[in-house]
Amino acid sequence: MVRAQQADAAPDAEGAESASAGFDDVLAELRERRLEFREQRYVPKDFVARLKQVGIYRAATPTRFGGDQLPPAEFLDRIERLSAVDGSTGWVASFGSALTYLAALPLETQAELYRDGPDLVFAGGLFPMQRAEPTERGFLVDGRWKFASGCMAADVLGVGLPGDEDSAGKPRTAVLRPDQCEIVPEWDVVGMRGTGSFDLVVRGVEVPREWTFVRGGPPAVDEPLYHYPTIAYASQVLAVVGAGVARAALAHAEEIGGGRAGITGAPKLAERAYYRVEVARAEAALRSARAWFYDLSDEVWQTVLAGDEASDEQNAHLRLASAHLAKVSSDVVNGLIEVSGTAPIHIGHPLQDLAGDALVPKQHAFLGPGIYDSAGAVLMGLPPTTRGFR
């Protein structure tokens, strides 16, 4: 009951209207700057500061530390809207939800983290996990980690350590200050090029045990968001980036359909039956996958608000719906390319860039083919077949 009362608090109408206008301004600025981010391969601090201003990086901060927790579906909607403008920025912003991981830190550590305010940017290079020598105070961290999306603007960084007896085998994350890490800008990709998913190098830094947490471990904060399945939420925020990218591809296809005739003299795209059919199919597929995805999120959130824990079956459905949305989103973009003639073969064509962006969520370990196997196993009463499924 306490959790439900905390979550029911809502901003006043004037504040909500102001926040909405601010978010629209951020989207407008992003349209002007997305090529800049792509070319430099990361979203810079000044734009991340804009995302802070509209609440992206306090949406998962504990209310006791000044956070404005959003129901997951509301946060997912914001990430989808950002991703429809620029997938890379949506991807970086999605890690505003990663503060749910930090809820597993001791309360004293969290108080130190949020000492300067609730808007905290956390970026992690979690793989490959590197063994850290135990010390009297904690762990001696040394190694190199990949895929630290958003690290260039992060306030704190995390690196992945293997599980141990104290963590019941679940992996740990060591939390460090940026000045304790070296960022190596190794990121040459065709999709999500602007995410700055660079490597992190740490050399012989002792991290106190209280500055490590178990990923998916029990939260030290008893607030609603931290009872929503943590790993499932981490999967959802990535999947919805793909949905935003697919929406951008559909918007392009619908706009271009009536304006370009083929160089062979063929009719405009919108005058070709196969093009109209593919656009309609893509629209139906994306809307259907989104509807299931958001409905499930609301269902599980209502379970949490009622003071109950999400069931294994609900977690499996969340993971399944996320993997499905990521795949459908990628399929939508590729299907539109197939019916768009020779235009998309050119470097820099919008659909080619969007296809690369849509590929990334689908390929992520949280959303890959193995998730279907684990979800199916759980739904039939068996243990999941992949580690870290919950």
Q: Whole-model pTM? A: 0.93
Residue that terminates a domain, selected from 185, 214, 243:
214
Is the domain of 15 the same as that of 95?
yes
Whether residue 201 sits in one domain with residue 74: no
pLDDT value of residue 2: 35
Residue 208 shares a structural domain with residue 238: no
Same domain (yes/no): 47, 154: no
Mean pLDDT across the chain, nearest whole number?
Answer: 93
Same domain, 238 and 170: no
Contact 140, 209 (CB under 8 A): no
CA dist., res. 91 & res. 83, Å (int): 7
Residue 378 has pLDDT above 80, yes or no: yes
Q: Are residues 272 and 333 in the same domain?
A: yes
pLDDT at residue 151 above 90?
Answer: yes
Looking at residues 3-26, what average pLDDT do you find? 61
Residue 310 lies in a domain: yes
pLDDT > 50? residue 222? yes
Q: How far is CA 322 from the centre of its chain?
A: 11
Q: 205 pLDDT band (50/70/90 cuts)?
A: very high
Residue 116 lies in a domain: no
Domain membership of residue 283 (yes or no) is yes
What is the DSSP code (8-state) at residue 142?
E
Pair 332, 252: CB distance under 8 Å? no
pLDDT value of residue 7: 39
Q: Residue 366 has what DSSP assignment? A: T
Say if 389 falls within a structural domain.
Answer: no
Q: What is the DSSP string of 199-263?
A: EEEEEEEEEEGGGEEETTPPPSS-SGGGGS-HHHHHHHHHHHHHHHHHHHHHHHHHHHHTT---T
Q: Is residue 239, in this structure, part of any structural domain at all?
A: yes
Give me the DSSP letters along 253-272: HHHHHTT---TTSPPPGGGS
Residue 223 included in any domain: no
121-125, 163-167, 265-269: segment of lowest average pLDDT? 265-269
User: How far is residue 50's CA from residue 182's CA, in Å, rounded to a whole number?
Assistant: 25
Q: How many domains does the chain divide into?
A: 3
249 and 352 assigned to the same domain: yes
Domain-located, residue 219? no
Mean pLDDT of 325-348: 95
Residues 154 and 93 in one domain: no
Residues 198 and 232 in one domain: no
- Asked which of 191, 214, 237 is the last residue of a domain, the reply is 214
Mean pLDDT calculated for residue range 32-53: 98
| 68 and 28 belong to one structural domain | yes
Share of the chain above pLDDT 70, in %: 93
CATH number at residue 130: 2.40.110.10
In-domain check, residue 156: yes
258 and 337 inside one domain: yes
Q: Rounded to an integer, what distance in angstroms lies between the CA atom of residue 88 and that of residue 290?
A: 20
The range of the structural domain enclosing residue 94 comes to 2-102
Residue 264: pLDDT band (50, 70, 90) is low
Inter-residue contact 137 to 129 (CB < 8 Å): no
Among 102, 135, 152, residue at a domain's last position: 102
What's the confidence (pLDDT) of residue 258?
73
Terminal C-alpha separation, the chain: 24
What are 108's two structure tokens? 């004293």
pLDDT at 198: 98
State the pLDDT confidence band at 358, using cuts at 50, 70 and 90.
very high
91 and 126 both lie in a single domain: no
Task: Name the residue with higher pLDDT: 203 or 3.
Answer: 203
pLDDT of residue 4: 38
pLDDT digits (tens, 9 = 90+) for 84-104: 999 999 999 999 999 999 999
CATH number of the domain bearing residue 28: 1.10.540.10
